[in-house]
């Protein structure tokens, strides 16, 4: 996962949650000239542009004062969208029965990408079913994970019947 360093999460998450939103996750991609800090927020009522602006304004103020990031970067606040990224094991638990797309650092059963139904979570292991095959994937083996968009179900990817 492109999870932001812990010190950034510890600074940003309480602000987002203090404003009444769920902090789905925070990505940080450092670059000398084009760095990106992306914060995903959600709420039961959904997310509007005004919500993103509100969070951006508060987080930006804190970042200006604390100055935890060296160099230039862009701050982006958005909803997680239909293909919401996963940053924590608990997020998989919340979406058991849904289709997920997982990219791996190293192959598992000769696969570096799995699109399968989340069937269960045991400890730090996520069980995904693609067709008739079940993959047990350790969370730390994932380089990227997200809900798979509905259109993938219609492109020949089965949801483990």
For 5, 12, 58, the CA distances from 39, given in Å and listed in that order, are 13, 9, 12
User: How far apart are the two ends of the chain, measured CA to CA in Å?
Assistant: 29
Which pair of structure tokens corresponds to residue 123? Answer: 């400890």
E-only strand ranges, 6-68: 22-29, 35-42
Per-residue pLDDT reduced to its tens digit, 99-130: 999 999 999 999 999 999 999 999 999 999 99
Look at residue 32 in the predicted model and tell me its pLDDT: 82
Look at residue 158 in the predicted model and tell me its pLDDT: 46
Look up the CATH architecture of domain 6-78. Answer: 2-Layer Sandwich (3.30)
Residue 116 near residue 103 (C-beta atoms within 8 A): no
**Strand 142-147 with 133-138, pairing:** unpaired
Torsion, CA 125, CA 129, CA 132, CA 134, rounded to 10? -10
Selected from 1.10.3480.10, 2.30.30.180, 3.30.930.10, 3.10.20.340, the CATH number assigned to the domain covering 89-153 reads 2.30.30.180
Q: CB neighbours of 117 closer than 8 A, spacing ≥ 6? A: 97, 98, 99, 100, 128, 129, 130, 159, 160
Look at residue 84 in the predicted model and tell me its pLDDT: 95
Ranges in the chain, pLDDT < 50: 158-161
Look at residue 152 in the predicted model and tell me its pLDDT: 66
Look at residue 8 in the predicted model and tell me its pLDDT: 96
Query: What are the boundaries of each domain within the chain?
Result: 6-78, 89-153
- Report pTM: 0.86
Look at residue 1 in the predicted model and tell me its pLDDT: 54
């Amino acid at each position: 996962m492109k999870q932001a360093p812990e010190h950034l999460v510890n600074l940003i998450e309480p602000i987002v949650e203090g404003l009444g939103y769920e902090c789905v996750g925070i990505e940080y991609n450092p670059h000398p000239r084009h760095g990106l800090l992306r914060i995903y927020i959600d709420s039961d009522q959904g997310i509007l542009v005004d919500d993103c602006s509100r969070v951006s304004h508060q987080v930006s103020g804190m970042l200006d004062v604390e100055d935890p990031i060296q160099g230039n970067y862009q701050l982006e606040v958005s909803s997680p969208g239909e293909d919401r990224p996963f940053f924590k094991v608990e997020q998989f638990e919340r979406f058991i029965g849904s289709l997920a797309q997982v990219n791996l650092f190293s192959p598992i059963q000769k696969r570096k990408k799995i699109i399968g139904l989340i069937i269960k979570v045991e400890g730090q292991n996520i069980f995904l079913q693609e067709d008739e095959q079940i993959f047990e994937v350790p969370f730390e083996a994932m380089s990227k994970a997200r809900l798979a968009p509905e259109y993938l179900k219609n492109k020949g990817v089965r949801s483990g019947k």
